Structure 1
Amino acid sequence: MRKDYTVDEAIRDNKKLAEQAATTGRLFHEQTGGSHPGWLGFINAFVVGDPLKLQNQSCSAVLFLDVTTGKKSKRTFAFAFGAAHLSLQANAFERNFGLKVALNSVARANLKNVDVATLDATSFQKRVQASRKSDLGGFGIDVERDLFRLAGGVPTDTDFANSLAGRDALTLNARISPATIADKCRKALQLFEAQDYKKDYAFIDQITPVREVDITEALDDLIYNEVQLLLADQPSDLHLTIPEVIDPEQSHEIGFFGVGFRSGSKRAYGELTIEDYIHELKNGRPAELTSIQDIKASHEIRVVIDGQGQRPNRRKVYDCMVFETMHKGSTYVLFAGDWYCVDNNFYRSVEADFQKILSNKPLVAKTKALNERELIKELDADPDLLLLDQVKVSPASATGANIEPCDFLSRDKAFIHLKDGHGSDPISHLWNQGVVSAESFVRDATFRNEMRTKALKRQRETKKKGFENVLPDGRQKKPTTSEYRIVYGIMRHAYKSSKKLGLPFFSKVSLRSATQRLELMGYTVEVHLIEKQHA
């Protein structure tokens, strides 16, 4: 348990667990009564004769033990049996206790299973299990983007356990008795406090999800304060970004719903911005907002058709909020509805790498284009840019892959990929488009030749000249990638507080991974931020 929690605070206030006198520590238990399983009615429809009278029963217990450590201080451990863990307050326990014990005791070559979550516009969670002890490198972990959620394997000290696994809780495979349980706790605490994991697993400290309720509540209060600042026409760097793709077959016009907004027919917006969100609140009943809970519970964006919001096409506004802040000396990021604590050194490293590829001479400094389609039309007037938007090319090994090489090919050998940073697609999808196209261009002659053929056709259609010198004509085996640039052009509104253009932190993390892949292939990478002016 955390030092600042008591046993009584660690139990959920549901009155289900009864306390039983114990020789040491505190013991709670529960015996549930019988209840029919939900599927019984379905099964009984097939029964001949009297219906089955099946019942579910369960029991659980949790034992809290105070263990004296070498410093003559006490720490409390909870041992949960059955479903008792569901009756415990997760906030009362040390975050990543089991994970750190596992990583401090299991060598990287002795891992057997890991759970990871990939931080992107849509978070992907996966479990990878090995049939025998395996090295970390065999699990396919991206140490910059993947959060370790759980790890398990065979510890170096098999006297401590034959095998173990942990996240917040720790699970041991070991012989144990009431007489030895305190020693196991002391050893586990020693492993939790050790720093051995930093040799092979230091990356787990780069980004950690915040699960302490007291911290998330304090951070959420900051978000509410930022909304109040915006309502008072004060600057704020709170932004909105749709965390996942909206169905391209659906309308992209959205409206705002919930406490404080006007009732009736809704105004539809073509993009999601914090300015429009605040504008709608101001024109509604903003005084009805009393706390962040009103925003989290009721504020939604929905696809709007004829003034009416479509319930199947909706997202919580809170899940779209992006905010970065310092709190008590640590960097926190709100992303896709979750708070993350980012190691300050890692944060600075990501920012430094982003600044290296950020161009101070963007394709256009400012645009009045409302979306990516309008920006493409604007740039198409440049004689040094050849429009390849919606041109589809397939490598020899993937007929029908229909890869778009780029939106524009420049006369100075740049593959330009564009994205509306406030549109319906997450920014990070753009990085992968650039990588896939660049990789196909360098390794596949069929892709290069077909791209050249279609580019020259576009050149004739647009009556532009000279682009036949930009792409290889098939006589050389491979192009010299160092001659080419991969340019990502992103339309963004400037942050209100800093008046500068920028990207969300996790978009920069995924960009760094894509940049490393492109640079390994020999390309130069540039990011061009284009200020999107309000209509």
Structure 2
Amino acid sequence: MAKAPTVSLTLRLLRNGITAEGALKDDHGLEEIDSTAGRLFVGQSPAIPPSWAKFLAHYTPDGIVNLRTQSCSAAMLIDVGKEQKKRLFALCFGQGHHALDEDAIQRGFGLRVVLNSVSRGKLRTLDSASLDTTVMQRRVQASRDSDLSAFDLDANRNLLRLASGTPKSGDFAKALAGKDALHFRAAVDPDKLVEHCEKALKLYEATDYKTDFAFIDYVQPVGERVLTEELDTIVFQDLKAMVQGNPSDLHLAIPDILSPDAALEIGYFGTGLSPGPKTAYGELAIEDYVVELQKGDFGQIADMAALKGSHEIRVVADGEGDRSHKRKLYTCFVHEVTLRNNIYVLFDGQWFGVSKDYHKEIEDAYTALLKPAFRVKTTADNERALITELEGEANLISMDQTKVAPKGAANAALEPCDFLSQTKQLIHLKDGHSSAPLSHLWNQGVVSAEAFVSDEVFRKGFRAAAQKREKKFKKQGFAGLLPDGRTKPVPGDYTIVFGVMRHPYAASGQVGLPFFSKVALRAAAERISRMGFPVELHLIEKK
């Protein structure tokens, strides 16, 4: 009996109820051909010059470089199961995955199969994302199979996006990697392809992951279409408010880890956006998108369904968009919504619900940090205006924009804090509605506290800077609160204070923080507390 060939395949599960007709984009451009397994769609692109050929042509005598590139595409759609339990798989080759409708794909399929198949000690790669105004994506790749603990994943604040490793059993595959798609290397008998898909479906539906990876249940995909549409309506109203000049926590982020050399310029395309040559932007930013919406006719966009079906980001060259390099803009929205006392997060075109136990854990930690603010309300429009407002307070001295170099890093100047109080509070301030993420503020507090405790050079510079500020503002008694360089501070004598300016939420009328900012705050506060410093959060209402 001939041995089954070992092949590398990419498999996607389509959402429940999706048929072959609904699996492909309307403009997929592939041709269906006869197949003994499922339905097979193939395509061959014409030979064209590569994008860099024009540049090279400048250096040839006749200005011509005779080079051509072309690609192939194939997508095989395979039914698995019977009657009500029937599911459709897409086996993609080459560029075939671009033909699939993004809304038809079952999100997280590949990741779930990997976590149900790979033990914690056999991991090779983990991708994660921390959700904030700036989404921080992280990939840790081991040179050989390693334990989960070696990847330094903070399961309490990071959304696990992709995993790869060696499965516990070789019955299905020799190696697995998965996010939405499942990439696997296995010995597959071509006549038993459907059986292999059936195994993949069983692995997806299993619950083995709960043994070592139960934390992925902290944030679970929302499957109910009615709830998704209700959440989308809220996001659309927030976007509309931004177009009208009002603040919102809605922002944009590419949900994939990009290659370091992917320095592309992008433009915004779709109904209601201005026609003609497009402005090319060097990054994806909600502020730029809102500007484009304001320049166009936002009234043409009826609702989120219309936006989802029309708006795209494309690579732009000479004002023209490249239709072969595009992405639905909806997949770049990042937002958090509280609905009927539940927290939902939108990321990568998918709504996630935060588990009640996890939500309570974070809220309890947040409540413990929240203290009466040293300034309850302010009419300041931004952080700079608030600092100017506070400089007149007798019990505070401004350390804003004071740069102190830590030992061995003369050019890595740190800001010890924004204000030092007479009660030994090290106050760090941030406008919570600015484009910079609040996680920057939390990190500033961590780094400053670490340097204050451990770095003699930093302490000396901090005290010297305080003495200069006393002269500038004609105040006394502040520099003496700080130890000299050789004397270490007693952390318990000082308090690290995070002061955050925020508008009240429209629904509750209360000042608060986005949920994932609370998650990041808890992690930072735990680090600072381990050094011995008390930590407080002061919310300052912006009028």
Range of TM-score over shorter length: 0.7 to 0.9
Paired with 1:41 and 1:375, the residues of 2 have a C-alpha distance of 53
Aligned with residue 30 of structure 1, among 27, 36, 43? 43
What is the alpha-carbon distance in structure 2 between the residues aligned to residue 63 and residue 444 of structure 1? 61
1:239 maps onto 2:254 in alignment: no
Residue of structure 1 equivalent to 2:16:
3
Q: 1:470 to 1:241 in 2, by over 3 A?
A: farther
Deviates more, 1:27-36 or 1:518-527: 27-36
CA contact under 8 A between 1:147 and 1:208: conserved in structure 2?
Answer: no
Question: Which residue pairs with 1:64 in the alignment?
Answer: 77
2: distance between equivalents of 1:23 and 1:318? 35
**Equivalence for 2:503:** 493
CA contact (8 A) 2:238 2:248 kept: no
Query: In structure 2, what is the Cα distance between the partners aligned to 1:452 and 1:41?
Result: 59
Summarize the Cα distance change of 1:214–1:470 in structure 2 as closer, same or farther, 3 Å threshold.
same
Q: Does 1:480 align with 2:490?
A: yes
Q: 1:417 is matched by which residue type in structure 2?
A: H
SS of the residue corresponding to residue 179 of structure 1 reads helix
Number of the residue aligned with 1:411: 422
Deviations 1:401-422 (A, max 9, x none): 2211111111222101112223
2:469 counterpart residue number? 458
Matched, 1:373 2:395: no
Give 1:128-139 correspondences, 5 Å limit. 128-139=140-151
The SS at the match of 1:449 is helix
Matched, 1:166 2:205: no
Aligned residue for 1:224, secondary structure, equals helix
3-state SS of 1:180 partner: helix
Tell me the percent identity: 44
SS at 1:65's partner residue?
Answer: strand
1:418-438 Cα deviation digits (max 9, x unpaired):
122234533332111111111
Aligned residue for 1:438?
Answer: 449
- C-alpha spacing 1:163/1:330, structure 2 compared with 1 (3 Å): farther
The corresponding residue for 1:268 is: none
The 1:438–1:30 alpha-carbon spacing in structure 2 relative to 1, beyond 3 Å, is same
Contact 1:116–1:148 (8 Å) recurs in 2 = yes
Point out the more displaced range, 55-64 or 84-93: 55-64
Structure 1 residue aligned with 2:267: none
Q: How does 1:242-321 map to 2 (within 5 A)?
A: 290-292=302-304
Deviations 1:172-194 (A, max 9, x none): 11111123323322322222112
Alignment RMSD:
4.1
In the alignment, residue 100 of structure 2 is paired with which amino acid? L
TM superposition shift of 1:441? 0.3
2:114–2:177 Cα contact (<8 Å) kept: yes
- The answer for the alignment partner of 1:265 in structure 2 is none
Aligned with 1:353 (options 349, 359, 365): 365
Instruction: State the 1:20 CA deviation.
Output: 2.6
- In the alignment, does 2:130 pair up with 1:121? no
Q: 2:354 is matched with which residue? A: 342
8 Å CA contact 1:427–1:507 kept in 2: the answer is yes
The aligned residue for residue 105 of structure 2 is 93
Shift of 1:169: 1.4
- Secondary structure of the structure 1 residue equivalent to 2:366: helix
| From 378, 395, 414, the counterpart of 1:384 | 395
User: Structure 2 residue aligned with 1:530, among 525, 530, 540?
Assistant: 540
Q: Distance in 1 between matches of 2:542 and 2:252?
A: 20
1:192 to 185, 204, 220: 204
Cα distance change of structure 1 residues 286 and 157 upon mapping to structure 2, 3 Å threshold:
closer
Structure 1: tracts of 5 or more residues without a match: 245-257, 262-272, 299-315
| C-alpha distance in structure 2 between counterparts of 1:321 and 1:156, whole Å | 35
Deviation (angstroms), 1:260:
11
SS of the counterpart of 1:137?
helix
Equivalent residue, structure 2, for 1:81? 93
Q: Which amino acid aligns with 2:400?
A: D
1:183 alignment partner in structure 2: 195
User: How many angstroms does 1:197 deviate by?
Assistant: 1.4
Query: Take 1:194 and 1:479, find their aligned partners in 2: how far apart are those partners?
Result: 53
Alpha-carbon distance between aligned partners in 2 of 1:448 and 1:9, rounded to the nearest angstrom: 64
Secondary structure at 1:397 match in 2: coil
* Matching residue of 1:447: 458
- Per-residue CA deviation, residues 58-103 of structure 1 (Å, 9 max, x unaligned), is 433322222337x994332221222221111232232111111111
Q: What does the per-residue CA deviation read over 1:377-424, in whole Å, with 9 as the maximum and x for residues that have no partner?
A: 332333222222222212223223221111111122210111222345
- For these two proteins, the number of residue pairs brought into alignment is 480
Q: Give the Cα–Cα distance (whole angstroms) in 2 for the partners of residues 242 and 167 of structure 1.
A: 23
- Which residue of 409, 413, 418 corresponds with 1:402? 413
Alignment gaps of 5+ in structure 2: 1-13, 254-270, 275-285, 312-328
SS for the counterpart of 2:191 is coil
Structure-2 separation of matches of 1:61 and 1:468? 70
Structure 1 residues 88-97 or 214-223, which shifts more?
Answer: 214-223
Establish whether residue 467 from structure 1 lines up as the match of residue 485 from structure 2: no
Paired letter, 1:464: K
Instruction: Report the AA paired with residue 370 of structure 1.
Output: D
> How many Å separate the matches in 1 of 2:241 and 2:395?
44
Please give the TM-score of this superposition, normalised by the length of structure 1.
0.77
Question: In terms of mean alpha carbon deviation, does 7-16 or 440-449 score higher?
Answer: 7-16
For residues 336 and 418 of structure 1, the distance between their equivalents in structure 2, rounded to whole angstroms, comes to 31
SS at structure 1 position matched to 2:180:
coil
Q: Structure 1 residue aligned with 2:517, among 499, 503, 507?
A: 507
| Offset from partner CA, 1:128-153 (integer Å, 9 cap, x none) | 32211112222232323333222111
The one-letter amino acid paired with 1:507 is: S
